[in-house]
Structure formats: structure tokens, C-alpha cells
Structure 1
Amino acid sequence: MPDGVAARRFTRRLRDGGRNAAFARRWAARALTGAALFGVCSVFHLSAGPVGVAHAAGAAANAPSQAGRPAMPVPNLPAPPRATLPGFNPPPAAPGTTASGPVQTQPARMPFYVATRGTTTIYVLGTLHVGDPADYPPKQPFRAPILGALAASPTLALELSPDELLVSQDDVSRYGVCRRDCLPGLLPDPLWRKLAYRLRGNPAALDEIKKMRPWLASLVVETYDSLSAGLQTEYGTEAQLQNVYIRTRGKIVGLETLSQQMRAFTGLSLAQQREMLAQDLVQTPAENVDDVRTLHRLWRVGDADAIAAWQAAKSETLARDKRISDQIDNKIVYERNRRFVSRMLLIAAPNKPVFVAIGALHLGGRKGVLQLLRQHGFVVDAG
């Protein structure tokens, strides 16, 4: 089916009833900040076509090495066989009953804040682009304060609007995929050999990644490791938020445009792209999986500053070239934080609350969104 026809049919399904979306920053906020993901796929299967591709991007969004970077839909790739994931141990299944009866699950706390300046209110929720079913109990997927804020807000603002998400894959392919095998020639030989060794058990994926530019290859590596953490993209926060929101509201906007988000990657120098990919390969897949799970636990606790501190320490460990790594963070995290806040201030109005949902690693720290709101005169309290 042509991509355009599939997109139109999918759009109609979204209008008729639930909407599944999620996006991402590199590990935990990455591009766990950027493009939203649609559809449903299993943890170890990247389904064919735009839907499966988008899901893969959502998973990549939650990789600690790349937190806060926009999540881009990666081209469809073969799923990694379990045998090629050294050290992978699936998480134990959550028990469904106890001696006294069914387990009463509670929604994850999540980083949630209320920013006020006079009669202007901005609700800010830190998202995770993959999750566990236990994070969102069917009878109450979010805590009461979050549901109340969502119901009170005429506008839901995500990193990218749903309309732009539907067409984002074309731009990713246009700017991230070469017509020939270009990646080996764009990387230093030791880095290419390290990547080839990482994908040694998945020759089909290795053949496909050869045609990618380094920034997109980085997303693919993160996707595989994140999917291996046992979390699922259909349980990303954005997807669950929209399922609740569109039943009562419907106005969903983006805090940045698709072209702005694409430039976060395409504007990187070759040295910066190489650094991105090198960071993904510092640790073993099993260590990367452990980081994803750690981030998930921190997100459930809901302290944005604690998440930011953990991410900063992790970045220090993974950076191969500190100067270049800082340049990458400025381009794909801090510049976008400032853009997010500028857009929030344009949308917000007295007595018309705005509910903002962005990657959790964009919130905390001295350059985070919460601190930027304080600098604009807002009082920020935990929700």
C-alpha cells in the first residue's frame, strides 16, 4: 500500500477513536522528544511500514546516551534476534494476583509540575516514550492531579503535532538515507568495525544500516537496545495522554515544527554525528538495557531534577569528546528547551491553561524547561 494512502487511512482511524503516539531524546528524552510514534508493535518486532518505523523511534527515544533528542522514525529494519542481545534477560512478569486477590496497580507518579504567573497556568508533564502496562492502569491511567489538569486545559501541546508526525518519516528517509552504502566511508575504521561487530548477529540490519548517515545509524542502535529493555512503545506517555485527551478535548498542537526538529539532526557536523554513534557503542547492549530500566524507575518516582542529575552523570561517562558532546547537547537539547518555552509563552493566556507534555529529561537542571519558566517569572511547584 502506498505510504500516502496508509497515512490517510491511519489518520481516519485516529479521528474515529483512539490515538497511539509516542516520541523521544536519546536515551530517556531523546528524540524522547521529538517525533511521535504511532501504531502497535511487539517489543522484539519492528513491523513493516511507517507504523512500525515510528514505534522503533519511540523506543530509541529512551536511551540514556541520547536523552532529550528528538525521536525520529527510523527506516524499517529487521528485528534483533534475542540470541544477538548479549546479556539480555527479560524482566520478570508483574504478578497479577496475591493470596488476598488481584493486585491493585497505581499509575506511575511521573514528573508533573504546575507553573503559574498571575492567572496564567502551564501544566508540564515529563514523558517517557516507552513504558510498561503497569504504568497506566486501565481504570485510572494517570494520577488524579494530572487528569484534572488535562481536563482543565483547552490545549494539549506536544513536541510535534500529530499532523506533522504523520509525514515525518519521508523527511527522515530523505535526509538520513543514502542511495548507496555510505556509512562505512563516513566513519573512522575502528568505529565502523565496532558497529559491525555489534550487529554481527543481524546481517540484514547491518546491510540496511550501511546506507544510513551516522545520526540515523545512532537512532537504529538505540532502538534495538531500548526495545530489548522489555518496555513497549504503545505504553509511551504521549500515546496514553492522547487516548485520554481526545475523548473530551481535541486541540493538540506542536511546540516545534517538523523542519525545526529535523535540523536538530541534519545540522550536526560529521564529527558530532560520529560522537553520537560512538556514545551508543561505549557500553554493551546489556548495560544500555540496564540504563533504560533505571530511567524508567526514576521516571516512575517523578523527580525531574533527579532524572537530570542522573542523565548528566551518565553523559560524563559516555562522552568520547567532551567538547563535541556538549555541542550536541546544546543543539538537540538546550536550544530546543528554549524553543519549547518560547512556544509555551505564545500559547498560554490568562485563565486558559495549557497542558505541555515533553520528554522528561527536558525538564530538570539549570538549563531545563522548569528553570527557564522560572526565569520568565513563573512559580513552579510539583503537581
Structure 2
Amino acid sequence: MRLLLIFLVLFSKMAIAQSLLWEVSGNGLKQPSYLFGTYHILKDSYLDKTPKVRSAFSSAKGVVVETTVDSSAMLSMAMRAMMPGKSLKQLISEADYKLVSDEFKKMTGFDLTMFNQMKPIMTATTLSLSYAEKEVDTLRQFTGQPLDLYFTVEAKKQKKVLTPLETMEQQMAFLFDHDPVEKQAADLVRMVKEKDEMRGESKHLTDLYLAGDLDGMWKLSQDYEKRYGDLSYLVNERNQAWMKKLPALMALRPTFVAVGALHLPGPSGLITLLREAGYKVKAL
């Protein structure tokens, strides 16, 4: 569940309206820009059901995404995911290793030894994706590219100005390096041991997203943080950094901003921060 929240993120006070697409106007903007909350593991055929999103994207001259990926970034990610001199077997007990190994094989088809020297968050992410894909039928109904990648590819194809808010290196630092590997390993074991308690949460989260229910996602994330720990470093700090870039980008040209949905609602979300900066932010 923690990792699925990250996928909506690796939140006016409340958002009030049920919408993933918001128009940003006023404060000197000659033309409106748009803010759209993505679900990083959802495929782009989802957009066939949301013509307003396609229309907003089409009308924009610029596209802003969290990050873009190239071959050098992938190599950097692979290197950052490794933990030289350590292994998962050293970080957890023999019994827990067998428990995780059996579950990992069952869910992914891979032998855990392939991941033994990778940081445990990588193993947990792979396992979490497998849980989501098997539990949530609605995810399998959509085809194509992941939403964020789709917007990146289409922006290049349509010769729109494409701007990443972060480097891949920065994103990987949030994912791989925020917690020590010892805590990552403990969280991985806990995830496997508590999988039955979490059953249904993936579907709940996906249903909230497909309903455009930002308030529901916000409340769910707050409930999760009470049980499993703070995730604000993935949202609040990054939102503040992004707000140093977004006003200038929107002033240059009408811009379509696509970021994880959990970046939108709440007292530190982009909807609130944009309003506090003087913009009119309206649900579409």
C-alpha cells in the first residue's frame, strides 16, 4: 500500500471537488494552464474515458512532467539500487528471508537471489506491483503506455516544449536513499507478513483514483501514515520545490502539468499552493 501511494505520488485545505483535472488561470496568465493528477501504473487507454484531459493536453503548448528517462538515467538507477557489500540475507533473519523468498517467487515468478544485493525497496516495489496487478482487475482493463510516459512521448511527438521538474537522479534519491537499508528490509518483511490485512486496499485506492476522488485519496494516505509512517517527504518537500518553477513555466505558455495525484490535494498540495500564490484553480 505504501508503494501504491508512492505511485500516486516514488494535498485548499480539502480539494472539495471530485476531479483529477484542474484549470489554472489568473495571476497574470494570458491563457489557462492545466494540472492533472496521474497514477503512475495506469495505462494510457484510460484517457479514452476522459476526453477533457486529452483536450487540455492538446491545447497546451508546453508539457511539464515529474521527470524524463534516458539510457544514462536507467544506468544510474540500476547502480543506485545496488548495495555493495551488503545483501538482504544479512539484513533479515533466515526465517524471514525464506518467508519473503517464497512470497516473491509465488507473486513474481522470480527467484529472490536475483534481488539479494539490491536495496530492499526495489524488491518491495516489484512485489507491490505484483500485488496490485493481481488484486485490481480494473488496472488490467487499460492498455498502452504508463500515463506519465505517454504524456512525455506525445509531447515530443507533437513538438510541445517538454520540461521535467526533477532529474531521474533526484527521484531515485527519494526512493532508494531516504531510509537506511535496514529499515527498508524491515518494511519489506512487514509488508509480506501483513499482506492479508492490506488486501483490498489496492483496489480501494484504484477505485478512488478512477472516481477522481482526491479527498478520498488524501484521507486514505493520512490513515496510512498513522499506521506505517510519514510519507510527506515524497510530497510536501517536492511540491514546495516545484512551486519555484511552475509559475514561470505557465507564464511563458499554456502548460499541461502532469504529476502524481497525491501531489494535488491537502494543505501542502499544489492546488492549495497555487491558490495561495494568487491563481484561480478550478476543477474540470
- Maintained 8 Å contact 1:131/1:234: no
* CA–CA distance in structure 2, aligned partners of residues 280 and 310 of structure 1: 17
For 2:281, the equivalent position in structure 1 comes to 380
Equivalent positions of 1:221-370 (< 5 A) are: 221-228=127-134, 229-230=136-137, 231-232=139-140, 234-242=144-152, 245-270=155-180, 271-274=182-185, 276-278=187-189, 280-284=191-195, 287-288=198-199, 290-317=200-227, 319=228, 325-326=229-230, 329-349=231-251, 352-370=253-271
Name the structure with the higher helix share: 2
Displacement, 1:264?
0.8
Q: Which residue of 2 aligns with 1:115?
A: 24
Residue 60 of structure 1 corresponds to none
1:257 Cα offset (Å): 1.1
What is the CA deviation profile of residues 103-157 of structure 1, one whole-angstrom value per residue up to 9, with x for unaligned ones?
xxxxxx96111222323243110111233676333xxx5323x233222321111
CA displacement 1:242-285 (0-9 Å, x = unmatched)? 56545534322211112211211343232542454355335327
Q: 9, 30, 53: which is aligned to 1:68?
A: 9
**Structure 2 Cα separation of the partners of residues 282 and 367 of structure 1:** 33
SS at match of 1:136: helix
The CA RMSD measured in Å over matched residues stands at 3.1
Does residue 118 of structure 2 align to residue 212 of structure 1? Answer: yes
- Give the Cα–Cα distance (whole angstroms) in 1 for the partners of residues 212 and 250 of structure 2: 24
Q: Which runs of 5+ in 1 are unaligned?
A: 1-24, 33-66, 70-108, 320-324
Q: Within 2, Cα distance between the matches of 1:278 and 1:169?
A: 27
Partner of 1:39: none
Corresponding position of 1:171: 76
1 CA distance for matches of 2:3 and 2:206?
Answer: 14
For structure 2, the 5+ residue unaligned runs are 11-17
CA shift in 2, pair 1:310/1:204, >3 Å: closer
1:154 maps to which residue? Answer: 61
Question: What letter matches 2:262 in structure 1?
Answer: L
Tell me how far apart the structure 2 counterparts of residues 190 and 374 of structure 1 sit (CA, whole Å): 52
Structure 2 partner of 1:94: none
CA distance in structure 2 between the partners assigned to 1:243 and 1:170 by the alignment: 20
**Take 2:133 and 2:111, find their aligned partners in 1: how far apart are those partners?**
15
Q: Deviations over 1:316-361 (max 9, x none)?
A: 34x1xxxxx22xx1332322222222221332216x2211101112
Task: After TM superposition, give the deviation of residue 299 of structure 1 in Å.
Answer: 1.3
Q: Distance in 1 between matches of 2:35 and 2:109?
A: 42
Q: 1:214 to 1:344 in 2, by over 3 A?
A: same
Decide which of 10, 27, 34 is 2:4's aligned counterpart: 27
CA distance in 1 between counterparts of 2:43 and 2:167 reads 29
Partners in 2 of 1:110 and 1:218 — Cα distance? 30
CA distance in 2, matches of 1:235, 1:382: 26
2:50 to 142, 147, 152: 142
SS of the aligned residue for 2:245 comes to helix
Distance 1:243 1:300 in 2: 23
Give the number of equivalent residue pairs. 268
Give the secondary structure class of the aligned counterpart of 2:172: helix
| Greater relative contact order (CA < 8 Å, ≥ 6 in sequence) | 2
Equivalent AA in structure 1 for residue 133 of structure 2: L
Deviation at 1:159? 0.6
SS of 2:40's partner is: coil
The structure 1 residue matched to 2:101, chosen from 196, 206, 221, is 196
1:220 Cα deviation after fit: 1.9
Q: Please report how far the alpha carbon of residue 206 of structure 1 lies from its aligned counterpart in structure 2 after TM superposition.
A: 1.3
Counterpart residue number, 1:64: none
Equivalent pair of 1:305/1:363 in contact (CA under 8 Å): no
Contact preservation (8 Å) 2:101, 2:111: no
The whole-number CA distance in structure 2 between the counterparts of 1:167 and 1:110 is 36
TM-score, normalised to structure 1's length? 0.61
Deviation per CA, 1:179-202, whole angstroms, max 9, x where unpaired? Answer: 676112123666545423422536
Partner amino acid, structure 1, of 2:33:
I
What secondary structure sits across from 1:349 in the alignment?
helix
